[in-house]
Every structure is written in C-alpha cells, then in structure tokens.
Structure 1
Amino acid sequence: MIVHVNTQGARILREGRHLLVKKEADIYHTLFPHRLEQLLIYGNVSLTPSALKLLFRENIDTVFLRQDGRFVGRLAVDEGKNVLLRKAQFRLSDDDPFCLRASRAMVSGKLANMVVLLQRIKRSRDSREAGKAAVQVKEILDQLPKADNLESLRGLEGQAAVCYFAGFRAGLDRDFGFRKRVRRPPTDPVNSVLSLLYTLLLNRIIAAVRVAGLDPYPGVFHALDYGRFSLPLDLIEEFRTPVADTLTLSLFNLGVLKEKDFFTLQVEETLDLPQEEEDAIDRACADPLGRMGMPEESEDVSDLEGDQFVEREEEPQTPTGKPPVRLYPEAFRRLLTAFEKKLQTEFYHPVACRRMTYAETTIFQARQYRRLVEGEIAEYTPFLLR
C-alpha cells in the first residue's frame, strides 16, 4: 500500500504496532506497517521519534516532499542484502556492451510509446502536427540499432523528446501556454503537471526497484554519479508516456485541472474534494486521453532538486527568467488521487501473459531487469503502450 499524507499541520505518531495520522484531536489515517510499501509526506507534517523508529525498523520507504510535490529527501532504509546481486549490478554497469544493449531496449520502449500516443492524437484530432511528430520519432526509433555507444543513444533520445513534445501539445484542448518541455522551473500549467507526475512516478519506480531487491544506484543508461539513483531513472523511461503523459492530457481535457488551479505566489491551505471533482477524476482515469475517442485496447523526473535525480530528456536548459508555476494544494490533492487511480488501471501485459495494474507492472519490469542481471534472460523487454 502506498500512502500520501498531505494534511498540513498533521502529526504521525506511534500507537502500539501501528501509526496514526492526527491533527489536533482528529485521526485522519491508521497505518499498519506490515501493509505499507511507501509513505509520502508533503509539507508541514511532523513525525514523532517513536514513529520514525518504527518506520526504520520496518524498512518503510519514506519520502519527504514540499507541499507542492517537489522532492526534499527520503529516509535511508537498508538496501537489499543480496551482496552478490549488487556486485553483479556494479560489474555490469561497467560492461559497455551490456549497458548499450539494455539501454537500447529501454529507449526503444520509450520512443515506441511516444509514437503510439502521437498516432492516437493524430487520428482523434486530425492533427498534422502530431502526425509529423510521430513520423519523426519513428524515424529516430529506427536509428537506435545503429547507435554504437551510449552517447549516440542519448543524443537520439534527446532528439526524439524534442519532436515528441512538439506533437504532444496537439493533444490538449487548449495549450495553457505550453510550447515545449520546460523543467527547471516549469513555467506553465502543463509543464508543472508533467513535472509533478514524473516525480511521483519516479518514487514508485524507486519502490519497485527495492521490492525487486536491486540496488538503485548502478544503472545502464543514466551515467553513474554521486548520489544518483541511476537504475530508477533508467526504468522510468518506458512509463512516462503510458502513465504520466496520458494522465496529463486527461486532467486538462476533462477539466479536472483548470487555469485557476495554478499560481505563481504563496499557496494557501488544502481544501476537501467536492464529489463532482471525484467523479471527474474517475472519468479521467477511465479515459486516459480525455475525450480523444481512442480508448486503450485493454485497459517522466523533472522538477527534482539536487543531483540525485538529474534526468536528461533534453539538452540542459538555461534559466527562463519566468517564475515557476505551481498547483494550489486542493488541486494538487486531485492530482494525487488521479495518479493513484491511474496506477490501479488494469491491462493485459503480453510478457507476463496476465492482467495487471500499472503499479504491478513497475515491479514486474524491475524484476525482469534483475533476471537480466542474474543471467536468467538474454534481453530486456520494455513495457509497451498498446
């Protein structure tokens, strides 16, 4: 179970073998550590020493974020005890042919998913812009086998990202000021939501990597760097479009998020969700593209501070001089609710040969990478949007 605590002024305290989330005399949640996979704490929420010790003892991945969703830090929990597996991970991170082969599979999955979404936008909206972008990304996808080193592969992936977002904006009912991907800081509502969703998604991938018993630091595509979780940054690539990008289109196109939900000044206190907003979120998750008439057959880490989560989906950006755009707390809660519902969406996974949720798929893909490291499989198969 993944739990988000964003009630400002709340305290998390221990009572016996469980945790309580309280504000004054009101109890908001009762948390049972044996059911808890990850705890995400937003803004002004405090932990008592006894609660902190229980989280450490139960090895719960506990993430701290600002009230607007920007990453702050996480509790240092024990890594997997399989030393031989971790040793193999680090050894293979220095194996250039292995890194190139695995990275090519991951990037091909990312670009293939981009093409699928762009083609849906083209068909549903008769968009020449999306069609052109789909052709461009497909051409880059076809060039991946020719990339004979990681730098070339990274260059192709960066080119594809620029083409993709030029077509992605055609999927919006309104552009909301979105022209291209701008990350640090996001300067329009669409970029702000993309950044938040990529942040939330990355934290789920980190949890999946730990569930699989892998060390999050040594990856294959993202270079090793001090404090960087390279493996989750690798594995998130194929999930950006199916989870975060499609949900972004839904949130705006179905009116779950509107321009009035964003600000550039001080945020105010969180409000409760009206029932009509809950219903809108349900519709957004049922229709991943939001009124685009292209239902799925079965049914990206951006604004993080510090070097640990540096991503590279485009060339480094120079400061825009524009103030960052953020969500009001009540709208942020709607986004969190929609994100969690999106992760519970079921579809048929062709590699697993069964139905599973997006949340389960993150763990399946992490475990598949572990099998690759341990030599049980010869190739990594990315998750593909159908």
Structure 2
Amino acid sequence: MRRHLNTIYVTSEGAYCRKDGANIVVEVDKQERGRAPIHVIGGLVCLGRASISPSLMNACTEAGVTISFLTEHGRFLARVEGPRSGNVLVRRTQHRTADDPAKSLVIAKGIVAAKLANQRTVMRRALRDYGDAGSLADAEKRITHIARHALAATDIDMLRGCEGEGAALYFGAFNAMIRHEDPKFAFQGRSRRPPLDRANALLSFLYSILGNDCRGALEGVGLDPAIGFLHADRPGRMSLALDLMEEMRPVLADRLALSLINRRQLAVSDFETSETGGVLLNEAGRKTVLTAFSERKRQTLRHPFLGEDMPLGLIAHVQAQMLARHLRGDMDGYPGFLWK
C-alpha cells in the first residue's frame, strides 16, 4: 500500500523555498517559517509569488516530490516533476478506451453514480445533524432516483444529463446545509470564474487544490490526465483529472466547505471582493482552508471496495490505481469510490 505523504502549501507572498541538507526550508523576508524532511513530503505547492532554489528543485525531482505552481486563488499554472515510470501501453489502452463509446460509458457510469451517491451522503449527514431544512429531504430522495437512472444510461449524453440534473438539485439545496446566520455566507447557486459569493469562493478554491491532487495521482500510475471518459476532450483541460475529482468533491471539498462555514472557522474578513465583483479568499483565509484540507486528508476511513483502512488523502491514488488496473485488464470494472 502506498504511504500517505504530506504536502507543503506555500501561501506567503515573496516566500523562498530552499534546500538545507535533507530538508525543505521555507523563508519569508529571510526569516525561516517552516522546515520539513524531504522524504516525508509528496508535493510542494506554491500559491502566488513564491520562488524555489535550483538545488531544492533538483532534490525534489530526484526524490519524487512534485512541485506545483498555482495562482494565489488556486488556478493551475505549471508543474515540475522527475521522470515517470508509467507504462506507455496503459496510456495507449486509455486512449483507445476513450475512443470506444461503449467502453468509456461503463467507466463514466461508475464515476457519475459514485458522485451522486456521495452527494446524497453529504445531504444525509446534514439531515442527521440539523433535520430537514426546506426541500433538502426531497432533493436527497430525487438524487437517489437520478443515480439509478445514471447506472441505466445507454449513452454518454444521457449520462451527462443525469449528472447535470443531480448537480442542479444538489447545489439547489446547498444553502439549506449552511447553518451560518450571517447572510454574507449564503449560497446563491453555483458560480465560478469568478465566484460571486463566499461559499462559491471556498468551493472553487478547494476544487482547484483537489484537482491538482487528482492530476498527480493519475500521472503517478502512468495515466494521461488529459484524456477522460466523462468530460469531453478540450485543449488545456485535464479531463481525466476532472473525472476522478467528481467522486472526491463531496467528500474532500463540499463537506469540508460546509464544516468550515458552519463551525465559524472562516470569517467574512477572510475574503475579499475584486473590482469585477468576484469574491476570493485572501491570504489568511487560504491558510485556514489549506490547514483544514491537510487535516481532512489525514483522517482515516475504510475503503468500501478494498476493505482496508487508509487516510482520505490516499483515496485519489487508490482510485487511479484501480482505474489503471481495469484498463490493463486486471479488473473487470472500475469501482467508483462510495463514501459511507
């Protein structure tokens, strides 16, 4: 079983990352802010204007530590990594499968059904914690019905229609799961590029960070993150990373976003509004979210298919491995991740 490694998120403007012996050191204004041994780190993520010394970059690539550069608000910019040992035959099979409507539909149905089931679990936990609020119980029942239709879909367009209908119901009831009394945390429907309220800003940031993790998990098993089965090919889009992320969103992003808001771990002052009206997390807010995200990934659960206990942070890697095994013919199907 793969060992869960930590990720360092560098959020301070002007931060400088350097190598000191076998350690990664982060400095701000020439003052040390953090230090960690390279061998316990799986990824180094720099948000905003952070720089890295050539010696640290070399050490990271040799140790298999992926370096990612994102904007301060989480949009992907670039990635630096060492040589990959992925099997080219797996990628060739992946491409052929993506071009086969029948084969790709089977994989995509597992992804969508798992996403809908996990969204339903988020809603059920809110119902358990707070009781019925508005149409939450009704939406939960309807998503269960849509999940059954998704498994019976006969083509990718029908499946995408089920996924879209489920998303509309889920986000239509999302505000009922927010228990913060301040109307400034109200959710007015999904908005992005730019997000128009604080809840959407939080979701978009978490999705960006999660998407980077999913891309790394797929590349780690030799798959091409740009060739997906549910999301259509598009220049610059990591379609398979988006596919894999669909199962993870409710578990690692949506539930965490609700907890951060409902437990008052984020304040109005942790956000800022741009001149165009977009709402974004500021540096203090990003630090709070990234700390909570790292803690969330360390939480342990039992994988429903494998029957093994593992940190949540390993789920994306395990799902990527099972997808690769299915494409190689070692598994009859791809089992989507179901959160219980």
Fold match (TM-score > 0.5) = yes
Q: Structure 2 vs 1, CA of residues 216 and 79 (structure 1 numbering), >3 Å: closer, same or farther?
A: farther
Shift of 1:340: 0.5
| Structure-2 separation of matches of 1:193 and 1:25 | 31
Q: What is the alpha-carbon distance in structure 2 between the residues aligned to residue 335 and residue 380 of structure 1?
A: 31
- The answer as to 2:219 corresponding to 1:219 is no
Question: Does residue 361 of the first structure (1) align with residue 315 of the second (2)?
Answer: yes
Contact 2:48 2:70 in 1 (8 A): yes
Contact 2:12–2:283, Cα closer than 8 Å, also in 1 = no
Partner Cα distance (1:110, 1:376) in 2: 24
After alignment, is 42-51 or 165-174 more displaced? 42-51
Give 1:57 shift.
4.2
Look up the match of 1:257.
Answer: 266
- Give, in whole Å, the separation in 2 of the partners of 1:360 and 1:56: 21
Distance in 1 (CA, whole Å) between partners of 2:59 and 2:29 is: 22
Superimposed CA distance per residue, residues 317-373 of structure 1 (whole angstroms, 9 cap, x where no aligned partner): xxxxx6110122112101100001011111122212121111111111111111111
Contact conserved, 1:216 with 1:229, CA < 8 A, in 2?
Answer: yes
Which of 3, 7, 19 does residue 14 from structure 1 map onto?
A: 19
Cα contact 2:302–2:310 (8 A) shared by 1: yes
Unmatched runs of 5 consecutive residues or more in structure 1 = 267-321
Q: CA deviation at 1:178?
A: 1.2
Task: Name 1:147's counterpart in structure 2.
Answer: 153
Provide the C-alpha distance between the structure 2 equivalents of 1:330 and 1:84, rounded to a whole number of angstroms. Answer: 45
Which of 126, 135, 142 aligns to 1:136? It is 142
Distance, in Å, in 1 between the alignment partners of 2:20 and 2:62 is 15
Q: Deviations over 1:65-108 (max 9, x none)?
A: 22233333223654444111121111211121110000001100
Q: Who is 1:350 aligned against?
A: 304
Amino acid aligned to 1:337 = T
Structure 2 counterpart SS, 1:173? coil
- Three-state SS of the structure 2 residue aligned to 1:37 is strand
Contact preservation (8 Å) 2:215, 2:225? yes
C-alpha distance in structure 2 between counterparts of 1:122 and 1:21, whole Å = 43
Corresponding residue for 2:277?
323
Distance 1:149 1:60 in 2: 39
Q: Counterpart of 2:288?
A: 334
Percent of residue pairs identical: 32
Q: Report how far residue 193 of structure 1 moved.
A: 0.3
1:372 & 1:24 partners in 2: Cα distance? 49
* SS of structure 2 residue aligned to 1:341: helix
The answer to whether the aligner puts 1:170 opposite 2:179 as a matched pair is no
Separation in structure 1 between the aligned mates of residue 316 and residue 64 of structure 2, nearest angstrom: 20
Of 91-100 and 53-62, deviating more is 53-62
How far 1:112 sits from its partner (Å)?
A: 0.9
1:121, 1:19 → 2: CA distance? 40
| TM-score relative to the length of structure 2 | 0.90
* Cα drift, residue 146 of structure 1: 3.3
TM-score scaled by length of structure 1? 0.80
SS at match of 2:173: helix
**Superposition deviation, residue 21 in structure 1:** 2.0
Indicate how the Cα distance of structure 1 residues 81 and 205 shifts in structure 2: closer, same or farther if over 3 A, else same: closer
- For the 8 Å contact 2:146–2:162, the answer to whether it is kept is yes
Q: Is the 8 A contact 2:304 2:338 kept in 1?
A: no
Q: Aligned-pair distance for 1:16?
A: 4.8
Question: Within 1, Cα distance between the matches of 2:217 and 2:257?
Answer: 23
- What's the CA shift for 1:235? 0.8
Task: Tell whether the 8 Å contact from 1:125 to 1:171 is kept in structure 2 after alignment.
Answer: no
Report the CA distance shift for 1:16/1:351 in structure 2 as closer, same or farther (over 3 A).
same
1:228 aligns to what SS in structure 2?
coil
Inter-partner Cα distance in structure 2 for 1:361 and 1:140: 25
**1:263 Cα shift?**
1.4
d(CA) in 1 for partners of 2:29, 2:279? 32
Structure 2 equivalent of residue 186 of structure 1? 195
* Alpha-carbon distance, 1:137 to partner: 1.5
2:84 and 2:220 in contact (8 A); partners too = no
Q: Output the amino acid matched with 1:9.
A: G
Hey, what's the Cα distance between the residues in 2 that align with 1:385 and 1:189? 26
Where does residue 3 of structure 2 map in the other structure? none
